[in-house]
């Protein structure tokens, strides 16, 4: 028995379905999310506020409903992001590992097909992602970067708005796991 089996769930068991994806989807969607951050903001600078790798991490985690799988997904996407920066490897990895684990844990208790909940997931996990990254930078690297709370709040709303259609599109790529 795991620690989650004793926790109360808010969804009926018939809706507690686990989804799987084609291996190419696992590879190409995160890669596309990272490439989006690399390429698109050059032409549309306001899109640099979109954290698509985070949204993809959250989506895959809540669809698999397995916290270890969510943590691993976040870890790999985060490390991929880290590899393209000049920072130390592992900063985005640690943050997205925690986000993936938390998202998968939440999906065991709530119906993640609900649009309102998806909005809240996008908003909450973006805020958590930014705060965690800022806290880790302070604690582990000793940086003194400022956390711009109002900007982060607005960016979280924008990411949550984008998460709704993005999750709808990704829903077409899923298939029920056996």
Q: Are 165 and 14 in contact (CB under 8 A)?
A: no
**Cβ within 8 Å of residue 79, ≥6 positions away:** 89, 90, 92, 93
Number of residues engaging another protein in binding (CB under 8 A): 46
Q: How far apart are CA 170 and CA 21, in angstroms?
A: 10
Nearer to another protein, 41 or 124 (CB): 41
The residue whose two tokens read 């996407």 is: 77
Figure out which of the listed residues 83, 149, 164, 177 binds another protein, where binding follows CB under 8 A: 83
Nearer to another protein, 3 or 14 (CB): 3
Inter-residue contact 52 to 160 (CB < 8 Å) = no
Contact 126, 51 (CB under 8 A): yes
DSSP 48: G
| Site membership for another protein, residue 30 (CB under 8 A) | no
CA distance 29 to 174: 12
Interface residues for another protein in 121-160 (CB under 8 A)?
Answer: 130, 140-141, 143, 145-146, 148, 155
Using CB under 8 A as the binding rule, whether residue 88 contacts another protein is answered as: yes
6 contacts another protein (rule: CB under 8 A): no
Contact between 92 and another protein per CB under 8 A: yes
Instruction: Name the site residues for another protein (rule: CB under 8 A).
Output: 1-4, 34-35, 37-39, 41-42, 48-49, 51, 53, 67-68, 71-72, 75, 79-81, 83-86, 88-94, 97-98, 101, 105, 130, 140-141, 143, 145-146, 148, 155
């Amino acid at each position: 028995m795991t620690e989650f089996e004793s926790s109360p769930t808010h969804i009926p068991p018939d809706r507690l379905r686990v989804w799987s994806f084609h291996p190419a989807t696992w590879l190409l969607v995160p890669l596309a999310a990272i490439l989006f951050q690399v390429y698109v903001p050059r032409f549309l600078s306001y899109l640099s506020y979109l954290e698509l790798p985070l949204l993809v991490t959250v989506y895959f985690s809540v669809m698999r409903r397995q916290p270890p799988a969510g943590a691993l997904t976040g870890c790999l996407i985060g490390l991929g992001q880290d590899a393209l920066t000049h920072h130390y490897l592992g900063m985005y990895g640690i943050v997205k590992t925690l986000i993936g684990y938390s998202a998968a844990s939440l999906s065991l208790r709530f119906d993640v097909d609900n649009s309102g909940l998806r909005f809240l997931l996008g908003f909450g996990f973006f805020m958590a992602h930014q705060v965690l990254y800022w806290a880790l930078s302070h604690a582990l690297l000793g940086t003194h970067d400022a956390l711009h709370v109002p900007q982060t709040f607005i960016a979280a709303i924008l990411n949550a708005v984008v998460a709704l259609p993005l999750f709808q599109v990704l829903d077409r790529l899923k298939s029920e796991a056996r």
